[in-house]
Structure formats: structure tokens, C-alpha cells
């Protein structure tokens, strides 16, 4: 992809016009909403600033959060809520999501940062929890008191309960840190997190290459199957410590998950903004092999969730629509 920085304050990065035109043309062929058989396709969020600023998806009269979610729900059957990684979910807000989406719409929810061992931005915690933390804007997970972590688990589960009650809760995504390598100790961390979410569908995304090593991977899949947790297949740059191989595998037979992070090789392991890291538009040619892979997942799992996380401009929207269009052909 030929890239050039723009002057946008949100850090948008434009791609080659021919690639954009090809992706846009293919997207027009996608069914609405984006669903093919048992495969639900969507993006990581619907209020990304880059998507809104691009003017390439929402109509001009879709100005409110309600308008945008209702419009999104006409185009997609699934959304992954990533805001819950940064801020604990709110039950009243979740009730509004239920009201504003079709009856068969599904929300996947990304787990709050502390629940997967990430540092937390203390300023985003409720005041009572913030008061129990060390006086620092950003606090490492191992410095958080047990009672605060316990409260976060309880409030997280309660905050998404309206979705579960409305049968609109998909999977809770447990995405572990890039430094979280494949050790017995870390496996126990995964097991404890899964146990805290008993009764919920859970998907596990690893971001350290050791989990996907050929000599270990089959055991990882078997272990996740025993935990009743879905393995998250990923498309992302390869060859780095924080790169998982693009394995296509089903652990939990009830659900398979695939997430697309783009292929910005040069910045994948660099400390760059989210907008820069994921600023990648997939071409139809790059998605074609994945349409066959997702079709394979569809035959092995009861449901498949596909999420595009390349959230820059409307690139995730186009990727989700393009893959859906290609899936229609793959299933013929």
C-alpha cells in the first residue's frame, strides 16, 4: 500500500486511490447486514473518530450516537465494543445499545484492561476505585489491590448484563498483552480469567508468538477447548515477538473468531499511535484466501465472528464488507 500522511488531527493515513476504489467497488456487493450463513462480520467499534471524520460511511444527518448505531446496525450484524477495554461498561448505556439495534444484532465485548493484566489509566476508573490506587495516572496491574481488581470484575460483568439478558451478548474478548508469553504461570492466569466469566462465551487472543509455535500450538488449541474458550485467529504482520502466526483453528466448537489488524509491517512492533498502527486497507486480493479460511471455520463451528480492527478512515468498514462479499462467492 502506498501511504502518505495527511494533515488530519486524528492521524488518518490515506492509501493508494486505486486500492481504495477497488475495495469500495467490492463493498457494494456485500449483503446488508453483513452476514453469510453462520458468519457474522463487523468492525471494532462504530464511533471511531477516523471513521466519522472520513465522511465515507455515515450520512450527514447521522450526528448522534443513537443515529450512528442505528445506521451501523443496518449494515452489520456484529460489532466489537473496544471502549470497554479503557472504561468499565455501564449497564444503562448497554440498555440503550439493546434498544437501538435489531433483534438479532450481536455485541462482542473487549475485557477491561486490568482483567487481562494490562496497566490501567487510573483517571478513567470510578472515583471510589481510583482512591484505592497508588497516586499515579497509569498503574501497572500488579500494583492494583486485590479488592479493586475484584470490584472491576464485578462491575464489568454487571455493566454488560443487559446485553446478556437481551440475548445480544456475543463473546467477551480476553486479549492478553504482547509480553504475555506461553508459560505455565500465564496459562494459570488465563484459566482464572476464564473461570471468572463462567456462563459467558469467551474468546482468547494471544499477542506473543510463543503461543503459536508449531510444537506448541495443537496443545494450546486442546487446552482452550477444555476451557470452553474460542481461539482468536488473526491477520497481522508476521516475524515479530508480538506476532501470532495466522493459524486457522477452532477450539470451542460453539464459536470461532477471526480479527484483522492490518499489515503495517514497519510499525507493528513500534510505539506508535493506534491510528498509525492500524492504518491499513486490505485489498480484495488479500482477503480472498481469508474468505476460504472463514468458510472452513464456518463448517467447524456453530457460529463465526469476524472483526476488522484496522480502524483508520473507513478501512475497517470496507474490509468487513469486502470479506462478506467474498464469502458469498466462497459459499456458492
Domains of the chain: 4-330 (3.20.20.410)
Question: b or e along 84-104 (b: 16 or more beta carbons within 10 Å of the residue's beta carbon)?
Answer: bbeebbeeebbeebbebbeee
Residues whose CB falls within 8 Å of the CB of residue 143, separated by 6 or more in sequence, listed in order: 133, 134
pLDDT, tens digit, for every residue of 2-41? Answer: 332 332 333 456 788 999 999 999 999 999 999 999 999 9
pLDDT at residue number 272: 87
Is residue 237 within 8 Å of residue 183, measured between CB atoms? no
pLDDT, tens digit, for every residue of 129-183? Answer: 999 998 888 999 999 999 999 999 999 999 999 999 999 999 999 999 999 999 9
> How sure is the predictor about 76, in pLDDT bands with cuts at 50, 70 and 90?
very high
Q: What is the pTM of this model?
A: 0.94
Amino acid at each position: 500500500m502506498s501511504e502518505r500522511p495527511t494533515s488530519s488531527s486524528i492521524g488518518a493515513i490515506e492509501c493508494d486511490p486505486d486500492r481504495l476504489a477497488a475495495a469500495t467497488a467490492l463493498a457494494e456487493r456485500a449483503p446488508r447486514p453483513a452476514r453469510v450463513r453462520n458468519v457474522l462480520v463487523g468492525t471494532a467499534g462504530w464511533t471511531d473518530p477516523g471513521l466519522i471524520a472520513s465522511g465515507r460511511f455515515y450520512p450527514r444527518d447521522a450526528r448522534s450516537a443513537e443515529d450512528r448505531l442505528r445506521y451501523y446496525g443496518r449494515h452489520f450484524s456484529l460489532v466489537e465494543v473496544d471502549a470497554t477495554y479503557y472504561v468499565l461498561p455501564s449497564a444503562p448505556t448497554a440498555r440503550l445499545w439493546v434498544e437501538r439495534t435489531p433483534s438479532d444484532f450481536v455485541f462482542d465485548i473487549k475485557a477491561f484492561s486490568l482483567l487481562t493484566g494490562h496497566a490501567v489509566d487510573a483517571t478513567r476508573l470510578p472515583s471510589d476505585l481510583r482512591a484505592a490506587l497508588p497516586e499515579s495516572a497509569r498503574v501497572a496491574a500488579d500494583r492494583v489491590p486485590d479488592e479493586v481488581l475484584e470490584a472491576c470484575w464485578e462491575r464489568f460483568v454487571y455493566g454488560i448484563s443487559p446485553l446478556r439478558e437481551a440475548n445480544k451478548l456475543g463473546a467477551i474478548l480476553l486479549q492478553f498483552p504482547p509480553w504475555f508469553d506461553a508459560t505455565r504461570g500465564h496459562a494459570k492466569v488465563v484459566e482464572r480469567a476464564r473461570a471468572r466469566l463462567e456462563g459467558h462465551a469467551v474468546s482468547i487472543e494471544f499477542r506473543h508468538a510463543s503461543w503459536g509455535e508449531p510444537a506448541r500450538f495443537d496443545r494450546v488449541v486442546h487446552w482452550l477447548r477444555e476451557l470452553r474458550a474460542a481461539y482468536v485467529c488473526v491477520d497481522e504482520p508476521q516475524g515479530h515477538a508480538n506476532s501470532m502466526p495466522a493459524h486457522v483453528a477452532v477450539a470451542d466448537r460453539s464459536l470461532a473468531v477471526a480479527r484483522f489488524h492490518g499489515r503495517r509491517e514497519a510499525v507493528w512492533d513500534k510505539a506508535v499511535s493506534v491510528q498509525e498502527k492500524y492504518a491499513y486497507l486490505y485489498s480484495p486480493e488479500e482477503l480472498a484466501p481469508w474468505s476460504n479460511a472463514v468458510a472452513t471455520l464456518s463448517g467447524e463451528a456453530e457460529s463465526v465472528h469476524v472483526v476488522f480492527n484496522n480502524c483508520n478512515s473507513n478501512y475497517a468498514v470496507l474490509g468487513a464488507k469486502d470479506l462478506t462479499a467474498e464469502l458469498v462467492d466462497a459459499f456458492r
